[in-house]
Structure 1
Amino acid sequence: MTVGGEPMIYHITTERGWQIAREMGEYRAYSLKNEGFIHCSTLEQIPKVVDAFYQNQPDLLVLAISPEQLQSPVKWEQPQHPNPENATLELEKETFPHIYGAINLESVVFVKPLEELLNS
């Protein structure tokens, strides 16, 4: 899906994480403090990311983000796996969007439960 000229990027979070973002006026993932960026993916990459990092986790949401409305910079980079020994070779061959800063809420086009997005 695209908005304007750029394809949307997606971030998986918890319901609580999204609730905090709405209260604070912006979204900040734990990785922003630890790694300096927020991990995102394309729509096509979501199933692989879920298989690698989010199996059996309930109540996950997907934020669909418009890069054109995003105030923080986005860089497309190879994955930086928190546990390199567990990294899948398939994911290492791809580049992923990393957001270097908070996600302003105006850039979030829609929020859907992960299961709903995967089944649509």
Structure 2
Amino acid sequence: MILHITDRATYRPGEPVTAPSLETEGFVHCSDPGTVHLPADRLYAGRTDLLLLEVDPAKLDVPLRWEPGSPPIPGGPWFPHVYGPIPAAAVVAAHDFPPGPDGFTLPPSLQQG
């Protein structure tokens, strides 16, 4: 699974998922479970209106490429970038994604035991 951060006001269940980056950079930013805290802490600190969308890459009908972050971090992790709208059928779950006292962490339902 890959993950996409969005907010409750933007997300429309049953509709394709887009983001402003699709227009400006040509892709929708995503993360994997081990890296999602990095963009969350950097870009969304203190936000309490977020959702973490769980996306099944096998259900994408547009290209998925693993690439350096945008902007790149020398020696940093690579991230999944979805080159088109994420089809509604590829979104298998939406999880509340509030920050904790030390930043963002995976919701309990996504943590491996």
Question: Is the counterpart of residue 15 in structure 1 residue 8 in structure 2?
Answer: yes
| Cα RMSD for the two superposed structures | 2.0
Do the aligned partners of residues 77 and 88 (structure 1) sit closer, same or farther apart at CA in structure 2, a change above 3 Å counting?
closer
Q: Deviation above 2 Å: which 4+ runs of structure 1?
A: 115-119
- List runs of 5+ in structure 2 lacking aligned partners: 100-104, 109-113
2:18 to 16, 28, 34: 28
The amino acid of 1:9's aligned partner reads I
Identify which of 25, 50, 59 aligns with 2:40. Answer: 50
**TM-score (ref. length: structure 2):** 0.82
Q: Which amino acid aligns with 1:79?
A: G
Bigger share in helix: 1
- What TM-score, normalized by structure 1, do the two folds share? 0.77
> Does the CA contact (< 8 Å) of 2:96 and 2:107 recur in 1?
no
CA contact (8 A) 1:52 1:88 kept: no
Cα distance in 1 for partners of 2:91, 2:4 equals: 10
May I ask how many residue pairs the two structures share in their alignment? 103
- Give the 3-state SS of the residue equivalent to 2:81 in structure 1: strand
Q: Which runs of 5+ in 1 are unaligned?
A: 1-7, 82-86
- Equivalent position amino acid for 1:106 in 2: A
The structural deviation recorded for 1:28 is: 1.0
| Contact 2:62/2:85 (8 A) holds in 1 | yes
% identical aligned pairs:
33
* 1:115 paired residue among 98, 108, 112: 98
Are the equivalent residues in 1 in contact too, given 2:37–2:106 (CA < 8 A)? yes
Q: Deviations over 1:68-98 (max 9, x none)?
A: 01111100000112xxxxx766xx5110000
Q: How does 1:84-103 map to 2 (within 5 A)?
A: 93-103=76-86
Q: Return the alpha-carbon distance in structure 2 between the equivalents of residues 61 and 105 of structure 1.
A: 15
